[in-house]
Amino acid sequence: NTCCTAVLIPHTPLRMSSGLGGLNKSPHGVVVGLCQLQLPVIETKDQLDAQVDRVCALVGKARRGSTSMDLVVFPEYMLHGLSMDVCDEIMCERDGPIVARLRAACVQHKIWGCFSIMERNPAAPESPFNSGLIFDADGNEVLYYRKLHPWVPVEPWAPGDLGVPVVDGPNGCKLALIICHDGMFPEMARECAYKGAEIMLRTAGYTAPIRDSWVFTNQANAFQNLMCTASVCMSGSDGTFDSMGEGMFCNFDGGIITRGGGRPDEIITCELRPDLVREARLGWGVENNIYQLGHRAYVAVQGGARDCPYTFMHDLVAGKYRLPWEGQVKHTDGRSCGFPAPVREYAPSAAASNGHGDAKK
């Protein structure tokens, strides 16, 4: 019998360089800017229009501040603030004039942009969708996503029904977007990675009490999936709430590459390396968890065990998901936050027919 022995030497792990925030861009790099947008108060159409102007101006700031930047990312609630107001006057449409202005800013400044809108829901006007859009530098829509997991019981948004799209991003990367509370569910990041994402964006409006959870979930989402994560919140105060900023880039090993603070309108920049993500996914043995999930114990059995031993997965697919303490859960609707109990049951909309949030050119 033989065994392996190892000498463990304490060391400081190496972290992927940010390329000095993208100042020294490599041929395979993707430079991303995370805009810690000042938290606004939006109650009227005029305020909404003025906020669109602010965002478009910050797209220009991103380009002027970094000629190497490929993509600028704005937080959830960038046009809406944290009021949870569902007034139709401040709702947007995917093909409407507000989104057209955001698209035009990308074309004007020759940069990719990731944006947040509260999207009208014709089937249930009282429950808009919380949606994300990514445009390329030519103004083409490349990603359209509706938030799967609204932050209940605080948020009134309809459940997303387009799945989790993964698209071709700048410089050949594979790119995904999730929104805020989505990132607290490990299944969301796993879905992104399983569909090929090398960089996962997470936009949010989170406030200070979530700071620690924000940090360790961004790191865990990266490490468990060998995937870079780029995450940003609104920043500053609207006189009631205090958003935290906290722009953060995590490497595929879970280490933080670059982290911002709470300064409103600061754009945190970093070069990410999707080529090194690909290398790790192919070359790692130990902790290649995204592969090993479907190939358990491959040392002992050829190809690993490829069954599904997880009860919750089977039950969720069968529509039978139920916790042992299900009947004792106190908050199961939005009444504690001032919303009436819903009477409508979930049914995917017509836009969800393909299940992938396909983009429109």
Amino acid at site 57? A
DSSP assignment of 79-118: TT-SS----GGG-B-TTSHHHHHHHHHHHHHT-EEEEEEE
DSSP assignment of 211-244: HHHHHHHHHHHHHTTT-EEEEEE-EEE-SS-EEE
Active-site residue (options: 147, 174, 266, 270): 147
d(CA 306, CA 284): 19
| Tokens matching residue 349 | 């909309």
Q: Which residues of 103-141 are buried (b: 16+ CB within 10 A; e: fewer)?
A: bebbeebebbbbbbbbbbbeeeeebbbbbbbbbbbebeb
Nearest 5°: phi and psi at 342?
Answer: -75, 150
d(CA 173, CA 29): 9
Residues recorded for the chain: 361
Report whether 7 contacts 44 (CB < 8 A).
no
Active-site residue (options: 35, 92, 180, 228): 180
d(CA 197, CA 351): 23
Q: Is 76 a catalytic residue?
A: yes
Contacts of 95 (CB under 8 A, 6+ apart): 360
Strands 174-179 and 166-168: what pairing? Answer: antiparallel
For the four alpha carbons of 317, 326, 209 and 341, in that order, the dihedral sign comes to: positive
- Going from the C-alpha of 248 to that of each of 153, 214, 245, the distances in angstroms are 26, 9, 9
Active-site residue (options: 35, 76, 141, 250): 76
Tell me 352's DSSP state: G
Give the gyration radius of the chain's Cα atoms.
Answer: 21
| Tokens matching residue 239 | 């006189």
Active site residues: 76, 147, 180
